[in-house]
């Protein structure tokens, strides 16, 4: 199983929120690059970077942090938050991200996302599906759309999307366990989906349960920063490898 630690950034700091509420911000480190280096030293190969400032302001903000992470580590980075334009996407890739997670824009401007998919290829675009009570949320989870998860995924998978990052907002930051039945349902409908489960992971047992359910990958953050998971033991149980086409 692919294990992906998350670094969420506000004001250049590594933070975590609860259920996406910016009022719950908790700072875990003033140096996200140091955190990224620590993740690499432990044996992780992937990293999920979220520009929370970007998600809130609707344009990418923390490019400097991304540049430093990609310059100072060999981690395969996927970056999300505030990617709304061609320039945003190009800047993120130029800053060293291997993959870009697109969420809100996939709801508001699907034609643009499909053009990116055609231009950059399915290996570099991750569809962000942030779900609250079955519907997609956008713009830093502050706005609810009228779009339900299933048709949203069906449409994009038919158009060639393969990587999907699905977050159950009700679980995010709660350390109460992930929405394994939801992720299992997605995999049943789309067996070829490279699904990344996100939200609620609180223990190695949670990760084992996701692996047993056939979920290919998991993103987790708060459980790391709150010391809920022994990371060396986790890496020993789930050794990580960098895909050949992503090696620097």
Among all residues, which ones are annotated catalytic? 8, 130
Question: How far is Cα 69 from Cα 147, in angstroms, rounded to an integer?
Answer: 34
3-class secondary structure, 149: helix
Task: Give how far the C-alpha of residue 192 lies from the chain's centroid of Cα atoms, to the nearest Å.
Answer: 18
Distances in Å between the Cα of 235 and the Cα atoms of 65, 115, 158, 232, 242 are: 25, 37, 34, 5, 14
Distances in Å between the Cα of 204 and the Cα atoms of 5, 6, 39, 189 are: 13, 16, 16, 26
3-class secondary structure, 68: helix
Distances in Å between the Cα of 47 and the Cα atoms of 5, 33, 58, 98 are: 5, 11, 22, 10
Measured at the CA of 222, the angle between CA 221 and CA 227, to 5 degrees, comes to: 105
- For residue 196, list its beta bridge partners: 165, 217
């Amino acid at each position: 199983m692919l294990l992906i630690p998350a670094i969420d950034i506000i004001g250049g700091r590594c933070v975590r929120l609860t259920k996406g509420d910016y009022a719950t911000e908790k700072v875990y480190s003033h140096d996200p690059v140091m955190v990224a280096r620590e993740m690499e030293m432990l044996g992780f190969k992937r990293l999920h970077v979220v520009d929370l400032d970007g998600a809130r302001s609707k344009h990418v903000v923390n490019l400097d942090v991304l540049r430093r992470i990609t310059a100072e580590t060999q981690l395969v980075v996927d970056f999300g938050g505030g990617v709304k334009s061609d320039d945003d996407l190009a800047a993120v890739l130029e800053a060293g991200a291997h993959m870009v997670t697109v969420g809100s824009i996939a709801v508001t401007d699907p034609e643009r996302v499909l053009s990116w998919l055609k231009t950059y290829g399915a290996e570099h675009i991750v569809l962000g599906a942030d779900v609250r009570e079955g519907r997609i949320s956008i713009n830093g989870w502050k706005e609810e759309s009228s779009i339900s998860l299933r048709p949203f995924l069906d449409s994009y998978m038919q158009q060639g999307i393969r990587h999907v990052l699905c977050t159950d907002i009700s679980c995010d930051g709660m350390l109460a366990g992930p929405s394994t039945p939801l992720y299992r349902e997605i995999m049943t409908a789309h067996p070829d989906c490279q699904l990344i489960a996100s939200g609620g992971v609180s223990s190695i047992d949670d990760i084992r349960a996701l692996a047993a359910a056939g979920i290919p990958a998991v993103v987790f953050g708060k459980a790391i920063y709150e010391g809920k998971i022994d990371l060396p033991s986790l890496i020993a149980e789930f050794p990580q490898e960098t895909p050949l086409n992503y090696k620097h």
